[in-house]
Amino acid sequence: MRSQHFLQLLFISLEVIHSLTASENAGLIKNPQDWAKAQFQDRFGDSDLVEFTLDLDRDGVPELFLGAKSSIGNGGGEFWVFKKTIDGYLKIGNLGLHPKAIRTLPPKAGKWRFATFWHMSAGMGTLAIYSYDGRVIRQESSKEVNSSSPIVSYICRSK
């Protein structure tokens, strides 16, 4: 069980690192939904999207989260995050999460922060804290926590 959880955490961490490179290589995207559909079709054989927004940096313009519907289960899945600019969108990261298990946190050291919870097994999951500097998302920490933990209740409560 622990080795499976470790592998899932490793996958998430690698996806975050990969997203930093992919974000720089994606460039400006005029229509992130069409772009993501094409990427997800190649990757998962599915172009149906799950989409939500959350204003990570509290600038009044929410960031766009897109995931392939077929890759998202009860515990969550992979989402790509896009920042709206004057000329289009920039891909700023990949995150493993459930759309109802993400919450912004108070800033720290001049960076916006948010937390996610990704349910992994009966009663357990991964709590991750990220920072966002307006350009890129970076994982600050992650740890295995009990699903009944008060912090999980705070992250997953209705917004």
Report the pLDDT value the prediction gives residue 135, as an integer from 0 to 100: 83
Report the pLDDT value the prediction gives residue 9, as an integer from 0 to 100: 47
Domain that holds residue 8: 2-156
pLDDT-derived band at 8, boundaries 50, 70, 90: low
pLDDT at position 96 over 70: yes
Q: CA 65 → CA 1, 42, 74, 118, 150, distances in Å?
A: 30, 19, 17, 15, 25
Average pLDDT, the chain: 81
Per the structure, how many domains does the chain have?
1
CA distance 21 to 15: 10
CA distance 105 to 117: 13
Within the chain, residue ranges assigned H as helices are 2-26, 32-44, 150-156
pLDDT at position 24 over 60: no
Contact 104, 144 (CB under 8 A): no
Structure tokens at 98: 């459930």
CA distance 125 to 145: 6
Q: The whole model's pTM is what? A: 0.78
- With pLDDT > 90 as the criterion, what percentage of the chain qualifies? 38
Top pLDDT among 152 and 5 is at 152
pLDDT at position 71 over 90: no
Smallest Cα–Cα separation from 92: which of 117, 122, 61?
Answer: 61
